[in-house]
Amino acid sequence: MGAEIDLAGFTFVVILNLGITLAELIGGIIAGSLALISDSAHNFSDALSLILSYVAERVSKKPKNYRKTFGYKRANIIAAFFNSSTLLVIGGLLTMEAIRRFFEPVSINTNVVLVVGTIGLIANLLSMIMLKKWSKESLNIRSAYLHMLMDSLSSIAVLIGAVVIKIYGLKFLDSVVTILIALYVVKEAIEIFNASLSILMESTPAGFDVENISSQLLRNPVIKDIHHIHIWALDERNILFEGHVNLKEDVKLSDAMRIYNEIKSELEKFGINHVTIQFEFNGCKDTGLISCS
């Protein structure tokens, strides 16, 4: 969540999600409906992720200090990693329970499901309308809005399932709806899990090609080779580059500064906004792009 969201509106959306969570959990247990419980678990993780993102967004804006020279930017990423891991576990548990119920069907009180499911749908639609207002302000909020849109669809699936069970007595539909919701949860969780894990592993960010970038830099005639390259992301916005640049000539420091600025502006074209270079003259032996052993 961006700081653009005012605290009152944000609190409203969180309370709404916690409200649905509780209503659907109690309703799901009373009615014996796993689909409702899975929707509840989903809404709980949504509320948790809203709170975490809000806190993380605040923490990540704290200034750098001598103990945290990178600042607190990764707080966001850690929150996203934690959230998505939780979602994966919830999705897995629900799927297992749904499969078990295929073989041992449980009787379901569809009236309770219909009432609670409708409340859930209304609450989801309300959160959606709140987020829609803010969604033009940031990508973060826009994705939260789209998320609530999908959540409303899953509430509708719970309701349709309940109606069909009520009319035709097809109890297994509760498991089918559960698995569909679980798959949706897992799908979105995997995307966030991969993106946050990739940042935590200092992977080369998606869309950045070490070989291509180094060959662009090598077009500079004074550079002999470039090695020991790292390109990594501090968070979604800050991309860093470091590398050893072996020069053809033993230049003056003022020339090295000029070359540095040329490299820096070339890298900025790729979207890299923090550059650290170690200049060398006959420096490392046996150099590779990512090593200097």
> Which member of 39, 49, 53, 151 binds Zn ion (CB under 5 A)?
151
Taking contact as CB under 5 A, which single stretch among the options 61-69, 87-95, 251-259, 279-287 is the one that binds Zn ion?
279-287
CA distance 279 to 225: 11
Q: Exposed, middle or buried by CB within 10 Å (0-12, 13-18, 19+), for 45?
A: buried
Check binding of 126 to Zn ion (CB under 5 A): no
Exactly one of 23, 158, 245, 292 binds Zn ion (CB under 5 A); that residue is 292
Please give the Cα distance from 12 to 1 (Å, whole number): 14
Piece in contact with Zn ion (CB under 5 A), picked from 42-50, 107-115, 133-141, 193-201: 42-50
| Interacting residues of 153 by C-beta distance below 8 A, sequence separation 6+ | none
Q: Which stretch binds Zn ion (CB under 5 A): 63-71, 74-82, 161-169, 238-246?
A: 238-246
Give burial (CB, 10 Å; 0-12/13-18/19+) of 204: middle
Residue from the set 142, 171, 244, 264 that interacts with Zn ion by CB under 5 A? 244
d(CA 259, CA 276): 13
Q: How far is the CB of 21 from Zn ion (least distance, A)?
A: 11
Q: Which stretch binds Zn ion (CB under 5 A): 49-57, 74-82, 260-268, 280-288?
A: 280-288
Please check whether residue 140 is in contact with residue 1, taking contact to mean a CB–CB distance below 8 angstroms: yes
283 binds Zn ion (CB under 5 A): yes
CB 44 within 8 Å of CB 80: no
Nearest residue (CB) to Zn ion, 146 versus 234: 146
Any contact of residue 224 with Zn ion (CB under 5 A)?
A: no
Cβ atoms within 10 Å of 167's Cβ, excluding its own: 9
Query: At closest approach, how far in Å is the CB of 46 from Zn ion?
Result: 4
Residue from the set 46, 98, 243, 272 that interacts with Zn ion by CB under 5 A: 46
Nearer to Zn ion, 166 or 244 (CB): 244
Distance of CA 217 to the CA centre of its chain: 32
> Which residues, in sequence order, are bridge partners of residue 288?
291
Decide whether 235 or 280 has the Cβ nearer to Zn ion.
280
Q: How far apart are CA 218 and CA 53, in angstroms?
A: 41
Q: What CA–CA distance (Å, rounded) separates 285 from 199?
A: 30
State the nearest-atom distance from the C-beta of 288 to Zn ion, in Å. Answer: 10
For residue 64, give the 3-state DSSP assignment: coil
Q: Does 90 bind Zn ion (CB under 5 A)?
A: no
Is the CB of 106 or the CB of 139 nearer to Zn ion?
139
174 binds Zn ion (CB under 5 A): no
Residue labelled with tokens 């799901």: 28
Query: In this complex, which beta carbon is closest to Zn ion, that of residue 142 or of residue 244?
Result: 244
Q: Under the rule (CB under 5 A), what is the footprint of Zn ion?
A: 46, 151, 244, 283-284, 292
